[in-house]
Amino acid sequence: MSFNKLTIDDIDLKGKRVLIRVDFNVPVDNGVVADDTRLKATLPTVSKTIESGGKAILMSHLGRPKGQKKPEFSLKPVAEAFGNLLGKEVTFVDDCLGSKATEAVNTMQDGDCLLLENLRFYPGEEKNDPEMAKSLAILADVYVNDAFGAAHRAHASTAGVPLVVQPAVAGYLMKKEIEYLGNAVANPKRPFVAILGGAKISGKIDVISNLMDKVNRILIGGGMAYTFFVAKNYNVGNSLVEKDRIDMAKEILTRAKSSKCQFVLPVDSMIATDIDSSAVNTKSAPAEKIPDGWMGVDIGPKTRSLFREKLADAKTVVWNGPMGIFEKTSFAKGTIEIASILSKITQKGATTIVGGGDSASAVKKAGFTDKITHISTGGGASLEFLEGKELPGVTALTDK
Ligand code: AMP
């Protein structure tokens, strides 16, 4: 799949005010950036801009301040952390609109970099208010979107500004994300296997549906497996079940029977009586027989072997969602096993893509980050991409 939008390589940046939408929505604990993966991923685009003599004006959201100026959602600590990575001062401007922003931009020299305050301090951002888009647009000669993690949202900074500022181009991270995901889905080397986990079937139903026509196998783990188990009349004890999705699960199982895609559910589970106490009582149980009073917290040993088998010859894999409650070490084995299998098959030449969010942090925690072909910086955006939906932040960019 070739990328059909203009990119930062197609435009002249010298002397230009380059307004770059980045995804600096990173965890900040007590004023310190706790995970700088997204900051590092943005470096190529920002470095290219400043090295080409452009003025890099960065804008992002952070968290959900819901249209209010809440200091705990300030991007100030992020400006400092990003400056350290860039090896250059990143001026922080404590507003993203109005005279403060305009004056700061007017004093920039070519090759300077500044970061505007959180876009979501204004309600117009999430409402895609054209006035907000215009107020941001006056800061720019050209617009770059490098915020793949926000590309599934039609907000003022992702969908509004590019209507006003042209050309509107993709940054390197945006291009890379779309190319990896796009190629995997459009031109996969086979067998092509999807691994889907996470808490709920409701969040992944469209992905399952879309991928069923494209992949050779779908492996299901995590909390969502139990709704499928109920659909098969298994005893699931206290496991997480979405009662209002049981019919949907039945429909998928029926569709899977006539599909060429192999639909693989866990054959056993790790189960526990209490997930919160420190002395966790845990054991494995067959999928169809989780005793009353127990809940499924991870895939079991037989499922780990089964999934290893189903992945052994895979040439393309996409993975989204943990296999269990991986935040707790006692229930993380299945998720870590998947990360480990993917790192091994990557070494043997498979293309492995992890769809952001929890699976990405599990891969990181297990130390396999460098051994996976591509780890997406956008959980929600990559899911919507895998659902086959258009991403408004990409659609809005100028066609090649
Ligand atoms: P999602 O955002 O849908 O990908 O779900 C991620 C969450 O699913 C993580 O916080 C996991 O702890 C949770 N999860 C995975 N497996 C289970 C399970 N068996 N029961 C309850 N929650 C689970």
Point out the domain boundary residue: 145, 174, 203.
174
Report the candidate in 354, 165, 370, 203 with the shortest Cα–Cα distance to residue 156: 165
Distance from residue 205's CA to the centre of ligand 1 (Å): 15
Q: How many distinct structural domains can be found in the chain?
A: 2
203 and 168 co-located in one domain:
no
The answer to whether residue 30 is domain-embedded is yes
Ligand 1 contacts (CB < 6 A) are 198-200, 203, 222-223, 240, 296-297, 321-322, 324-325, 327, 357-358
Distance from residue 221's CA to the centre of ligand 1 (Å): 9
- Ligand 1: which residue has its CA nearest to atom 18? 223
266 and 208 co-located in one domain:
yes
Are 151 and 28 in contact by the 8 Å Cβ rule? The answer is no
SS3 362: helix
Provide the CATH number for the domain around residue 34.
3.40.50.1260
The answer to whether residue 306 is domain-embedded is yes
- What are the C-alpha distances in Å from 5 to residues 141, 187, 328? 18, 19, 42
Q: Which two tokens stand for residue 183?
A: 């190629």
- Ligand 1: which residue has its CA nearest to atom 13? 199
Are 368 and 129 in contact by the 8 Å Cβ rule? The answer is no
- Ligand 1: which residue has its CA nearest to atom 6? 198
238 and 303 co-located in one domain:
yes
141 and 220 co-located in one domain:
no
* pLDDT tens digit at each of 400 positions of the chain: 678 999 999 999 999 999 999 999 999 999 999 999 999 999 999 999 999 999 999 999 999 999 999 999 999 999 999 999 999 999 999 999 999 999 999 999 999 999 999 999 999 999 999 999 999 999 999 999 999 999 999 999 999 999 999 999 999 999 999 999 999 888 899 999 999 999 989 889 999 999 999 999 999 999 999 999 999 999 999 999 999 999 999 999 999 999 999 999 999 999 999 888 766 789 999 999 999 999 999 999 999 999 999 999 999 999 999 999 999 999 999 999 999 999 999 999 999 999 978 899 899 988 999 999 999 999 899 999 999 899 999 999 999 9
Say if residue 187 is exposed, middle or buried (CB neighbours under 10 Å; 0-12, 13-18, 19+).
Answer: exposed
The answer to whether residue 132 is domain-embedded is yes
* Residues assigned a catalytic role: 38, 200, 357, 380
Residue 31 lies in domain: 8-174
The answer to whether residue 120 is domain-embedded is yes
Q: Locate the ligand 1 atom nearest the alpha carbon of residue 204 and give its number.
A: 3
Are 8 and 170 in contact by the 8 Å Cβ rule? The answer is yes
223 and 137 co-located in one domain:
no
Neighbours of 47 (CB within 10 A): 17
